Each structure stands twice: as C-alpha cells, then as structure tokens.
Amino acid sequence: MGSVGIFFLSCVPLLKSPSFFLSLESLEEPQSAFEAVAFLATIIIVHESGHFLAAYLQGIHVSKFAVGFGPVLAKFNAKNVKFSIRAFPLGGFVGFPDNNPESDIPVDDENLL
C-alpha cells in the first residue's frame, strides 16, 4: 500500500482522528458496539447507493435496493423499486429485474454477467 495508500486514507476525516482508533479498543461496551454497527451500515448505504446511482445514470432499471441480509424489517416501494432494511446489517444489494422476455439479447450471450 505504501505512502500513496496512507495518503488516501488520511483524506478520510474519520480515519484522520485519533479518537476513532481509540474508540475501537472499547467495543465491549454496548454503546460502542451499536456505534460500530451504525458506522458499518452507513458505509454499506453509501456503497450500495453508488451502485444504484451508476445504474440509474446509465438508464438501467433497478428493481430492489436493500441494506442488510435476512428477514425484512421494513420495506416500501417507490418508482417501481422495492426498498428494504433487513435484520443483519452486514451487507446489502441492488437487485436488477429478472430475464426480460421482450429483450433482443440472447439469454446465453457471453457478454452477460
């Protein structure tokens, strides 16, 4: 990683603060554990929002946007997108529609992911 990696990490205000690293030592406290989960959920929301925004800007329809995995705790629909918050905030996903029968792209196209 070297000095270039350290430079980029030092640009992140939270990582620049020594109190952030000191707070990692006391994760035994319930409040600190809650803060760690909230911080992780925030990172996931920002990350998945990037996928959502990239798809939107390219005109790709998104059918689902979720933060967390497991059972759905809360959900709502907006503009044909199903948004949900799930039980375990350890990840998230942006879902795209299943096969479109009207598409002219073959299902076995080697360029599809």
d(CA 80, CA 82): 7
Is residue 25 among the annotated active site residues? no
- Is residue 82 within 8 Å of 63, Cβ to Cβ? yes
d(CA 97, CA 77): 15
Considering the candidates 25, 35, 48, 110, report the single residue annotated as catalytic.
48
d(CA 106, CA 110): 9
Catalytic residues, by residue number, are 48
